Amino acid sequence: MTVPPLPALMIEPTVRAALLEDLGRAGDITSDAIVPAGMHAKAALVARQPGVVAGLDAALLAFRLIDPAIKAEVARPDGSKLARGDEIALISGPARGILAAERVALNFLCHLSGIASATHSIVEAIKGTRARVICTRKTMPGLRTLQKYAIRVGGGFNHRFGLDDGVLIKDNHIAFAGGIKPAVARARAAIGHLVKIELEVENFAQLEEALALGVDAILLDNMSVEEMRRAVALVAGRAVTEASGRITPQSAPAVAATGVDLLSSGWLTHSVTTLDIGLDDR
Amino acid sequence: MTVPPLPALMIEPTVRAALLEDLGRAGDITSDAIVPAGMHAKAALVARQPGVVAGLDAALLAFRLIDPAIKAEVARPDGSKLARGDEIALISGPARGILAAERVALNFLCHLSGIASATHSIVEAIKGTRARVICTRKTMPGLRTLQKYAIRVGGGFNHRFGLDDGVLIKDNHIAFAGGIKPAVARARAAIGHLVKIELEVENFAQLEEALALGVDAILLDNMSVEEMRRAVALVAGRAVTEASGRITPQSAPAVAATGVDLLSSGWLTHSVTTLDIGLDDR
Amino acid sequence: MTVPPLPALMIEPTVRAALLEDLGRAGDITSDAIVPAGMHAKAALVARQPGVVAGLDAALLAFRLIDPAIKAEVARPDGSKLARGDEIALISGPARGILAAERVALNFLCHLSGIASATHSIVEAIKGTRARVICTRKTMPGLRTLQKYAIRVGGGFNHRFGLDDGVLIKDNHIAFAGGIKPAVARARAAIGHLVKIELEVENFAQLEEALALGVDAILLDNMSVEEMRRAVALVAGRAVTEASGRITPQSAPAVAATGVDLLSSGWLTHSVTTLDIGLDDR
Amino acid sequence: MTVPPLPALMIEPTVRAALLEDLGRAGDITSDAIVPAGMHAKAALVARQPGVVAGLDAALLAFRLIDPAIKAEVARPDGSKLARGDEIALISGPARGILAAERVALNFLCHLSGIASATHSIVEAIKGTRARVICTRKTMPGLRTLQKYAIRVGGGFNHRFGLDDGVLIKDNHIAFAGGIKPAVARARAAIGHLVKIELEVENFAQLEEALALGVDAILLDNMSVEEMRRAVALVAGRAVTEASGRITPQSAPAVAATGVDLLSSGWLTHSVTTLDIGLDDR
Amino acid sequence: MTVPPLPALMIEPTVRAALLEDLGRAGDITSDAIVPAGMHAKAALVARQPGVVAGLDAALLAFRLIDPAIKAEVARPDGSKLARGDEIALISGPARGILAAERVALNFLCHLSGIASATHSIVEAIKGTRARVICTRKTMPGLRTLQKYAIRVGGGFNHRFGLDDGVLIKDNHIAFAGGIKPAVARARAAIGHLVKIELEVENFAQLEEALALGVDAILLDNMSVEEMRRAVALVAGRAVTEASGRITPQSAPAVAATGVDLLSSGWLTHSVTTLDIGLDDR
Amino acid sequence: MTVPPLPALMIEPTVRAALLEDLGRAGDITSDAIVPAGMHAKAALVARQPGVVAGLDAALLAFRLIDPAIKAEVARPDGSKLARGDEIALISGPARGILAAERVALNFLCHLSGIASATHSIVEAIKGTRARVICTRKTMPGLRTLQKYAIRVGGGFNHRFGLDDGVLIKDNHIAFAGGIKPAVARARAAIGHLVKIELEVENFAQLEEALALGVDAILLDNMSVEEMRRAVALVAGRAVTEASGRITPQSAPAVAATGVDLLSSGWLTHSVTTLDIGLDDR
């Protein structure tokens, strides 16, 4: 399934700001001084390592915002699997503009493709299980919409987008409320009918209490694989179960094999490695 | 030496935007529902692994912008070395506000401390050499000012902040100009008297040409350690020399031992691992 | 229960923009010309008709943003019931500033109190039933956060805040998908685990199909009170039921008596009558 | 006479902000999941009740900003009279985009058409008199430009756009100045030569004083129809006269028959009922 | 008479933007590197030539926005006459912040004081005549509010603030309308009751036509002093008369002696010389 | 040599803001009322005095932003020499839009051409010497990027764009550091390898100290022509030398004849006279 693109309206302010951040108060003084005004160039966005494309719209928008005369032919849109050397898109137009936009375009494309690729690796590693890979709110300030989109492109799913679109009750909330029961009751009394409640549990007593209260989802905090398996069995489908922590393609299968519904990873958005993509002359 | 802080004016728009990104259209519905209005809390920002603090101003500003009644006592300001368990700052005030700001504050603090810590490890690894660790323009869109600041906090130095504050002549520019000589001449004819010129060379013929033209700095692209040593000897102090590529505490000493002036790393800003810092009840 | 206030951070940009919209390029030329610079004033926000206060934070922020020397004593915070003549808050400070901020402050306060008051009337009218009053996305452009907050202050609840925090499948979606079943299946395959699905049905065949698919909520479109009663019986608690349309304190009891869970009303945000509140000298 | 449209430049920021407010951080998750990517749709903006169109430019801009591939054919531009069932414009293009923009487009169109329609009803009711219908500064925060435009579309005229483009002396100003005479003198001494002065009077003594001072306009506050008639006779064309208060098509003729020049109504912008317009498949 | 200050709300965005424009992406690297962190400084804003202060609020806000710990004692507020060497305000606080804000503060203060001083010179030169000095819309982009304020501080008055707060009919409008009469009639039919009409005339035939139509003001374009005198006599108080063109203290008395009401000058905002004010150590 | 244009991205926010500043809340009420909707116009931007064009892109963007149907044919792009009466560009399209954008377009074009023209006069006056004309940070708030661009168009060069892209050590810094030596040492220890250091000297002792420290550039403060000549001889090419102060075509040759490298002038950006350009019917 292709992941629907974000409307340009939603990404343009971010791309525009990134370009202005790079252009500063004088623009690309190197290319302006050295590259003759009328010169045209052709270049390709090329994968230097295998992965999954994400963020191509933002990258191409960067070129277009610098100079509307820059054109692109897309060979591998977001979601495409990349082998080393694969061409993602062909860029052509005024040389100065292409050089001026290059770094910003790659900053979006490499970072978001890095997220999609890492997500995809874990998704592949747990194929055949019921588990989904999900992200967290541990995102780069200002880039949440784009990062969460890249998670989807990689085959993952999104946890909450912010503090306002889901209830997630943690240990602190339970402590301030004086227990799980009042915490859940207060949340239920306040929220709209399309808002779900997830609760973080640290042990089996809490788990049973949460189940009894009928919460929608349960975050199993800090449990061993063995404990998770037991927890999943106890839940028996009465709530969605989420396992969190750093998840790698290596560690994921064992966790997924416990039967949990969700593997959540902050790593994918706060510490992921960029995917190496370059802009090569054509 | 303590790195001077950025004026609040420069970081406030970024912190404010990050909070609004997280608060969405309804704010922290979990804490608002569950935590009683008058309740106060005390919590500490605590290192869960060793490293170097950076971004504490942004983190504390996040708490203050959510609720000016939240107060902070700083124990370890930016630049402080952290052992596991070290307390960075003590936060106290209305519980709802502390919970609402927590994630955004940590997103800034963990990411920027991650950069400072990684930078510092390399700086430590090459102590005794003349080499400095520097960053690139491969930054997270919208976060360049903060990321480059974190590099300084970690003991590194900054390369260009954008396309406009230095000339960096790459292979493309040379090709479009028809040679190194016209490229340098055109740059020199256009720029202000406080702008320097750096040139990327791929071989020794280019290096000699660059030296003959008197450029300020030379980027040694894709050279082996042995070639770098030879290049540095050839340059003989007539220009600043920069070695680029992924630099780790392991690989850095050998590169630094060649006598290059600068080790530049995109990794520090585009793929660095977050430093694990948490907010613990006190 | 007191409704938690929105963080000032979330309302300040709106209040600031409203003030600048009114001040234009020259400010309050009437007061500046006529009222002597040092003159102080004391005035009270007074209800000219019964109702419920909402938006006092925004109103007081308007005064403070014009001049931080303006002080307020709050007598009746958001959520308070108002009788005609009741004082909501006492404002004192530089006379010019009070006059300059007055209209903008009242524009927020009267409109939001209008929403809260109308909501409250319906809530009161259906007391004793299980039904909740909810709002829609038919809001004034730019004011959704504040309007939805006023709904809560009046005792109502919020439907979706936007297109992104809940799935609401309408007739168009069903038509484009080729049926209710594929529509629900596609939604379920794409959304995160904290997102709920509501489906709009026009008849009992659709209702049964929706129930069979286990959607979270069902919007009963355009049904008579009698049909609604039958629909609620059929649903029998397997999904949340929502009745929509213009709801008044007069019409609401009959609808609520059908047993539906939710009465939704666009009227409350797109056509509500302002609550008459004035600023009187003291 | 057709009312000149506002330049797109003036309404785009408001429409853009309204769309982003609705799209949130993930966009239209319902349509994105359910409606196939390539699917096209055709739909018409249709009046469900009689009235006057206003805000069509803003509505169509909402569609275009979501997806430039969405096209519109306008059948009844702003100012057109609508019978129930009349088609205002035909929209065609990518189905996802049309669904994503629908609500925001209608929020603008229905509200502004509501204002134009209500204004028009009063204008019609007083046809044949010299009186004009005018608005006030009691507008929705952030929407003043659009609301005042809708007043003009409905056949009304605009009072001040803000605090800076006209002097309106009220009871407070008179009190702070120590009388009508010093108030008017101070205003006259300060303002530019294109700024007019209006004064609010509560009785005939004030009215005579105002006339003696040669103010441009007089606001007759809180007078009975009989008093207004007497006031108009006294003024005898020496100043523009304004009657304020809630004005309905029922009450307006009697007030207009007094000979006043202006009937001003806050109701038209702060409490007007939306005009019911829908988007129907074609 | 003291000119009322602009609310800080109206100038803060401009001052903030100017500071960020100067701080760029790294802040004041000179002071940060050289001046020790804890060092305090005391300095005075001192006039290096005679003139009139304007813009002090903006200048002091620049210091405060950089560092709230910077304090100011105002000796000569806006509107004060300055002799060479006069101290305008004393600034004290953290040395780094004072140095970082200095240039931006002076850019506002020197430019706005330049406007006020030039305005004042002309005002003084025509003392005893009925004429007022006014400005135009020939302002620096983004600075209109501040520049027009400085005109008032210098003793001048403001013409229109923009295209929307007054009708000014020029030759083009007359040509497009097919004559003065239809032009005035159309304007009168469209505008609100607080909007005045000014008409530019090039000869006496036009002048008589304008007078017959009862316009509020007449702009005498390109007339000799002798023609102006004749025009003023012809107008005989039936409209405000405006003479435009470059006006200097030398040329103004002769023009003012013709009896015109207004001398308007674009020079004051588009070409004025800065007033030399410096920041001296104390 | 043609000066490369700034990307539209960099100037659009400034032009957009200037238009909105002029349009206010109701737009061009004069043209809207008087000029019929369908009317087209043709007009030319014409020089009323000799000079150099700069800012044409901003001016044309103003027309286009008001109405994309307005077209322009450029006869004399930025950098062209203008004789009185020369046509710069031909504008054609909807008459209302042309009239609405005219003033803002001219405000950019006349001011920036004024800067380029004044710069060019000095550049011409010192032809044959080694000296370059440069600008300062004494710019109009918000217009630095455009003003510095106009300097380049006039044949000048740019000094620092802000506090962050070059070190400029002044008397204050030296005082706070306790001498030139520690000041330079601290700067050198903190800055990146592409940042240069300039130092302001007041006498020959300071000059010799600066030379010994190897700074990149030296600002000769307040020296007579004779002293400058001596200073240049002493420097003997070891650093770039800058002479500052008000520079006119008359005074420049003598200063340039001293052999200094740079003549810097704040006058060019803070006090320059506008170039008279008008929009004439065609």
pLDDT at B246: 72
Query: Reduced to 3 states, what is the DSSP secondary structure of residue D49?
Result: coil
CA–CA dist C32, E6 (Å, integer): 9
**Is B259 within 8 Å of chain A by CB?**
no
Which positions in chain F touch D161 (Cβ < 8 Å)? 24-26
DSSP lists the bridge partners of residue C94 as C40
> Residue B276 has what DSSP assignment?
-
Query: How far apart are the CA of F75 and the nearest CA of chain A, in angstroms?
Result: 18
Partner-chain contact B4 E96, CB within 8 Å: yes
Condensed to tens digits (0 to 9), the pLDDT of residues C145-189 reads 999 999 999 999 999 999 999 999 999 999 999 999 999 999 999
Closest CA to F266 of F182, F147, F154: F147
Residues of F with Cβ-Cβ distance to C25 under 8 angstroms: 21, 24
Amino acid at F40: H
pTM given for the model: 0.98
Å between E128 CA and nearest CA of chain F = 30
Cα separation, E162 vs E204, whole angstroms? 28
User: pLDDT of chain D along its 282 residues, tens only?
Assistant: 589 999 999 999 999 999 999 999 999 999 999 999 999 999 999 999 999 999 999 999 999 999 999 999 999 999 999 999 999 999 999 999 999 999 999 999 999 999 999 999 999 999 999 999 999 999 999 999 999 999 999 999 999 999 999 999 999 999 999 999 999 999 999 999 999 999 999 999 999 999 999 999 999 988 999 999 999 999 999 999 999 977 889 999 999 999 999 999 999 999 999 999 999 999
- B24 and A163 in contact by Cβ < 8 A? yes
Residue A1 has pLDDT above 60, yes or no: no
Q: Least CA distance to B19: which residue of chain C?
A: C9
pLDDT tens across A2-19, in order? 899 999 999 999 999 999
Cross-chain CB nearest to E25 (options B7, B9, B161): B161
Core vs surface per residue E61-85: b (16+ CB within 10 A) or e = bbbbbbbeebebebebbbbbebeee
Distances (CA, A) of F208 to A40, F224, F234: 50, 18, 8
Residue D254 touches partner C, C-beta closer than 8 Å: no
> pLDDT digits over E75-104, tens only?
999 999 999 999 999 999 999 999 999 999
Which member of B22, B87, B221, B276 is catalytic? B221
Q: What is the pLDDT of residue D1?
A: 58
Q: What is the mean pLDDT of chain B?
A: 97
Range B144-149 average pLDDT: 98
The nearest CA of chain E is from the CA of F151 a distance in Å of 16
**Residues 13-42 in B contacting D (C-alpha not used; CB under 8 Å):** 21, 24-25
pLDDT of residue F1: 58
Asked whether the predicted pLDDT for residue B79 surpasses 60, the reply is yes
User: What are the chain C neighbours of F25 within 8 Å (beta carbons)?
Assistant: 21, 24
Question: Is some CB atom of chain F closer than 8 A to the CB atom of E108?
Answer: yes
pLDDT at C246: 72
Assess whether pLDDT exceeds 60 at residue B1: no
CB contact at 8 A, F35 and F99: yes
User: Is there a contact between C24 and F25 if contact means CB atoms under 8 Å apart?
Assistant: yes
Query: Measured between alpha carbons, how far is B12 from F72 in angstroms, rounded to an integer?
Result: 41
Q: Is E165 a catalytic residue?
A: no
Contact C233, C207 (CB under 8 A): no
Cross-chain residue pair E25–A21, CB shorter than 8 Å: yes
The reply to whether D200 belongs to the active site is yes
Active site (annotated) includes residue B81: no
**Chain A residues within an 8 Å CB radius of D32:** 4
**pLDDT for B133:** 97
Determine if residue D39 is left, alpha or beta; phi over 0 gives left, psi from -120 to 50 gives alpha, anything else beta: beta
Residues from chain C that touch F22, judged by Cβ atoms under 8 A, are none
Q: Does the pLDDT at position B51 exceed 80?
A: yes
- pLDDT value, residue A117: 98
pLDDT of residue C1: 58
- Substitution target in F9, F11, F195 with the highest count of A β-carbons within 10 Å is F9
- Taking one residue from D and the other from F, the number of pairs with CB-CB distance under 8 angstroms is 33
Burial environment of residue D108 by CB neighbours within 10 A (0 to 12, 13 to 18, 19 or more): buried
F136's tokens: 């300062």
Question: For chain B, how many helices (H) and strands (E)?
Answer: 11, 12
Calculate the average pLDDT of chain F.
Answer: 97
| Residue A89 · residue A56 · CB < 8 Å | yes
Higher model confidence: residue B244 or residue F197? Answer: F197
CB pair distance less than 8 Å for B25 and D25: no
Cα B58 from Cα B44, distance rounded (Å)? 16
Task: Give E40→chain C minimum CA distance, Å.
Answer: 28
Task: Name the A residues in 44-63 with CB < 8 Å from any B CB.
Answer: none
CA distance, residue D280 to nearest chain F CA (Å): 31
- E244 min Cα distance to partner chain B (Å): 41
Contact map slice: F 120-179 vs A, CB within 8 A:
144-145, 148, 158, 161-162, 165
Model confidence at A245: pLDDT above 80: no
Q: Is F189 on the interface with E (CB under 8 A)?
A: yes
**Which one is catalytic: F86, F200, F242, F261?**
F200
Which residue reads 């009394």 in tokens?
A189
CB A196 within 8 A of CB C194: yes
For residue C222, the model assigns a pLDDT of: 84
Contact residues on chain F for A26, CB-CB shorter than 8 A = 145, 148, 158, 161
Q: Averaged over B68-87, what is the pLDDT?
A: 98
**% of chain B at pLDDT higher than 90:** 96
pLDDT digits 0-9 by tens, C38-48: 999 999 999 99
Say yes or no: E67 contacts chain B, CB-CB below 8 A: yes
Report the C-alpha gap between A169 and A212 in whole angstroms: 15
Give the distance from residue A277's alpha carbon to the nearest chain D alpha carbon, in angstroms: 26
Q: What single DSSP character describes residue C179?
A: S
CB contact under 8 A, A176 and B271: no
Both tokens assigned to E16: 């903030």
Q: F7–A24: do the CB atoms touch at under 8 Å?
A: no
Q: What ipTM was reported for this prediction? A: 0.97
CB contact under 8 A, E9 and C25: no
For E187-223, how does the pLDDT look when each residue is reduced to its tens digit (9 = 90+)? 999 999 999 999 999 999 999 999 999 999 999 988 9
Inter-chain touch A10–D20, beta carbons under 8 Å: yes
**Are B141 and A23 an interchain contact pair (Cβ–Cβ within 8 Å)?**
no
Closest CA to D150 of D23, D275, D29: D275
Which residue in the list C42, C48, C138, C238 is annotated as catalytic? C138
Q: What is the C-alpha to C-alpha distance for residues D205 and E81, in angstroms, rounded to an integer?
A: 43
Task: Please give the pLDDT value at position B222.
Answer: 84
As a whole number of angstroms, the distance between CA C130 and CA C260 comes to 7
pLDDT for E59-74, tens place per residue?
999 999 999 999 999 9
Q: Is E103 a catalytic residue?
A: yes
Question: Is there a catalytic annotation at residue B200?
Answer: yes
pLDDT in tens, F227-257: 999 999 999 999 999 999 778 899 999 999 9
Angular region, D266: left φ>0, alpha ψ -120 to 50, beta rest: alpha
Determine the pLDDT at residue E245. Answer: 74
Which tens digit of pLDDT belongs to each residue from F178-208?
A: 999 999 999 999 999 999 999 999 999 999 9
